[in-house]
Structure 1
Amino acid sequence: MFDNDNEKLVDTVMGEAVMALLESEKAVSFDELIAKLQESLSNETDPQRQAAYRAAIGGIHKFRSQPVVARHSRHGTEYDLLLKNMMSQPGATKH
């Protein structure tokens, strides 16, 4: 559920960008997603959608800057593993 219409619009423009990448058969990565959002932003004339593109781009940058930590238990000992973002690795899977 969305807190407000602005968040829904951010999710909408993000989804549109992901779908465009999938349809173009480009590798889906944070870099490609940001590039697509920036391209769409440069062509957008609606102020609300422009704000949504900026928020989506900012959200991706914020997400990328935070490591994802998972805890796994092996033989009763807990290990902290830093997970690398698979999408940002060279050779990202094309869909």
Structure 2
Amino acid sequence: MVDGWCKADWIDCALKIFDSMDTRDSFSHSSLIHNLCKDGRFRCASKLLFSCVRSGMSILPSTKHAVFDSLSRSGCQREAKILESEIKLALSAFV
């Protein structure tokens, strides 16, 4: 359902539905993160990505790269590097 709203460019509706969901799967997370990046909401996407990683959810490498690339292209290279470091640190806690 989230993916459908995202594809229709109704990102705000997708976010509301996502927030109201009891169970959120990795597909919903990935779809929302990719579409937030497409919509220029890089910081929101990066926060969502980090919360997924912190909770132990498996996220596709393409989803991570979408956020890193979007942040870097928008001039937020430092933020992209910090996020990448935080994700590596969070992932090492699960090993």
Q: Same fold (TM over 0.5)?
A: no
The TM-score bracket by the shorter chain reads 0.3 to 0.5
Q: TM-score, normalised by structure 2?
A: 0.34
User: Which is richer in helix?
Assistant: 2
User: Which is richer in strand?
Assistant: 1
Q: TM-score, normalised by structure 1?
A: 0.34
Q: Which structure would you say has the larger RCO, counting Cα contacts within 8 Å and 6 or more residues apart?
A: 1
